[in-house]
Structure 1
Amino acid sequence: MADKAILHVHNHDGLPRVEVGAHSFMCIGAKPPFDHPHVFLTFGDEHEKVCPYCSTLYVYNEALGEHGASPGESVWAGEDAA
């Protein structure tokens, strides 16, 4: 059983870039039902990563913390999210 939740991020608004504070996260594309297969991405030694499904450019920003993103609305909280 995992000891912490993995950050899930979307780019529903089609922004040119989304910043995330976690080294590893899930990209879901757009909000359901328009999401793509949820893909696990990790920065490794890099500070930028492009999602292979939706081509969103993700940029690592340590200041956001493990569960943060900018814009903040890009964090997906699950089916109960508004």
Structure 2
Amino acid sequence: MANHGTPHFHNQPGVARIRIGAREFMCTGALPPFDHPHVFIDMGDASDAICPYCSTHYVHDASLAPGACEPPECAFPVEKAAAA
């Protein structure tokens, strides 16, 4: 898999919503081996999006860096995504 800058996020903790600093990202659902297909989500001009696989609610927060999220443990390093 090619190296890319698309941030990946997961919802292993099962939180109600994840605030993220990106509008284009990948959702992995949970951590491997319980992840779902890594789906690309583009919020466009919207302020939030829901993953069609796991129903995680993502909310854009402009105060966060593109690869950052709140809670921070929901960030999924791209290196792990390449190995999955």
Shared fold, TM over 0.5: yes
> In 1, Cα distance between the equivalents of 2:28 and 2:74?
10
> In 2, Cα distance between the equivalents of 1:69 and 1:10?
10
> In 1, Cα distance between the equivalents of 2:69 and 2:42?
15
> In 2, Cα distance between the equivalents of 1:75 and 1:39?
15
Unaligned runs of 5+ in 1: none
Say what the alpha-carbon RMSD is for the aligned residues: 1.6
Partner SS, residue 63 of structure 2: helix
Which is richer in strand? 1
- Runs of 4 or more above 3 Å deviation: none
Name the counterpart of 1:8. Answer: 8
Name the count of aligned residue pairs: 78
User: Offset at 1:3?
Assistant: 8.4
The two structures have a TM-score, normalised by structure 1, of 0.88
Unaligned runs of 5+ in 2: none
